Amino acid sequence: MAVEEPRFLPRAGLQRLIDRLRNQFQQVLGPQVCDGAIVYGPLQRLQQLPIGQGDRQAPGSYRLEAAGGERCFAWANGPQALKPLLFTPEQPVWRSVRNADGQLEFLPMPAEPESLAVIGVRACDLAALALQDAHFLGDPADPWYVARREGLFLVAVHCTHPADTCFCASTGDGPTCCDGFDLALHELDEGFIIEAGSKEGATVLADLATLPVSREHWTAAQAQQAEAARTQRRHLRPAHELACLSDALMHSHWAEVGRRCLSCGNCTAVCPSCFCHRHEERPAIDGVHSAHVRSWDSCFTAAHSALHGRPVRADTAQRYRQWLIHKLCTWQDQYGRIGCVGCGRCISWCPVGIDLTAEAETVLGAAYV
């Protein structure tokens, strides 16, 4: 029987959810502390989650700190989004081999079906997944992305502890998850309100030992969501105002940002919606075998804009301008919305603390005072 109504899952019931998913999916991932950050890793036990863990983020800074208590999700997103699970940093596209006649044979890399459940996905990353879907499931669809996407089961967690760098409330993408999940959790001190967002999610929910949701639980969940939105200090302007960025190509501020930006590409690597990539041939030393590989690229590299051997965007100011205007302005022409979901990762993980909300505001400030 499928459960349609939200239910209350006692805290210990989270282990039952992990076990249930491990019975159905090839792999279950959940957030864990690794190398000083919270990232997804293979999840078998509830105790692997970042229980009692918090974080402190600021432009150019990310630190874990103790939050106390029993909560598993009292922190904001770390550097890793869903992106590397679907649009992998490297994807072999084909292999080639020189046969005995000296002819090249090309061997395709078929997409294998994969089943994966991810626990702890936040609202901003569900929104970014929808953006990546628009890109990779379009025509022609990316077969490797399709194979991974079809086997993906998402357990979302409504965000209660946004970082100083978050601004999802202003982009309309968080902190509460609205759709795109199979199950969603409100974490409370006593346990979780759990609701299904798909038939598959309802089937899993029906297998858990749950209780009715009390009025007190609902009131507490709504209050913490309102507080999570209210405490976000950064914001972006509405999309129609951001669309004016392309009218400011000659603004002097681009040169000023270009003097601070290192062109390192960290911002594009952590961004859950960026999809730039490059193709390269990797011949083996035997002179017989070769692999053709697609890998992540960044619009901050000189080679990314190379045409006929020369970069179109030769300096850093031009590359930053390209990134910001595409993300906030021309993405709207391509996909009907801005390409930013307000996760704040590019702010926290920029080594010099460049803040796209502040840079956009400076460029647009004269137009909208």
Q: Which is nearer to ligand SF4, 29 or 340 (CB)?
A: 340
Q: State in angstroms the smallest separation of the CB of 337 from ligand SF4.
A: 12
Stretch that binds ligand SF4, among 33-41, 97-105, 279-287, 342-350 (CB under 6 A): 342-350
Considering only residues 308 to 327 of the shown chain, the ones binding ligand SF4 according to CB under 6 A are 327
Q: State in angstroms the smallest separation of the CB of 99 from ligand SF4.
A: 44
Q: Is 346 near ligand SF4 (CB under 6 A)?
A: yes
Of 194, 299, 317, 340, which one interacts with ligand SF4 (CB under 6 A)?
340
Q: State in angstroms the smallest separation of the CB of 351 from ligand SF4.
A: 6
Q: Which is nearer to ligand SF4, 153 or 167 (CB)?
A: 167
Q: Which is nearer to ligand SF4, 18 or 343 (CB)?
A: 343
Q: How many residues bind ligand SF4 (CB under 6 A)?
A: 25
Q: Is 354 near ligand SF4 (CB under 6 A)?
A: yes
Integer Cα distance of 170 and 206 in angstroms: 35
Q: Is 153 near ligand SF4 (CB under 6 A)?
A: no
Q: State in angstroms the smallest separation of the CB of 121 from ligand SF4.
A: 14
Q: State in angstroms the smallest separation of the CB of 346 from ligand SF4.
A: 3
Q: Is 262 near ligand SF4 (CB under 6 A)?
A: yes
Label each residue of the chain as H, E or C. Answer: CCCCCCEEEECCHHHHHHHHHHHHCCEEEEEEEECCEEEEEECCCHHHCCCCEEEEEECCEEEEEECCCCCCCCCCCCCCCCHHHHCCCEEEEEEEEECCCCCEEEEECCCCCCCEEEEEECHHHHHHHHHHHHHHCCCCCCHHHHHHHHCEEEEEECCCCCCCCCCHHHHCCCCCCCCCCCEEEEECCCEEEEEECCHHHHHHHHCCCCECCCHHHHHHHHHHHHHHHHCCCCCCCCHHHHHHHHHHCCCCHHHHHHHHCCCCCHHHHHCCCCCCEEEEEEECCCCCEEEEEEEECCCCCCHHHEECCEECCCCHHHHHHHHHHHHHHHHHHHHCCCCCCCCCHHHHCCCCCCCHHHHHHHHHHCCCC
Give Dmax over CA atoms of the chain in angstroms.
Answer: 76
Q: Which is nearer to ligand SF4, 118 or 317 (CB)?
A: 317
Q: State in angstroms the smallest separation of the CB of 239 from ligand SF4.
A: 13
Considering only residues 265 to 294 of the shown chain, the ones binding ligand SF4 according to CB under 6 A are 265-267, 270-273
Q: State in angstroms the smallest separation of the CB of 260 from ligand SF4.
A: 7
Q: State in angstroms the smallest separation of the CB of 329 from ligand SF4.
A: 12
Of 350, 360, 363, 364, which one interacts with ligand SF4 (CB under 6 A)?
350
Binding site for ligand SF4 (CB under 6 A): 261-267, 270-273, 300, 327, 340-346, 350-352, 354, 356
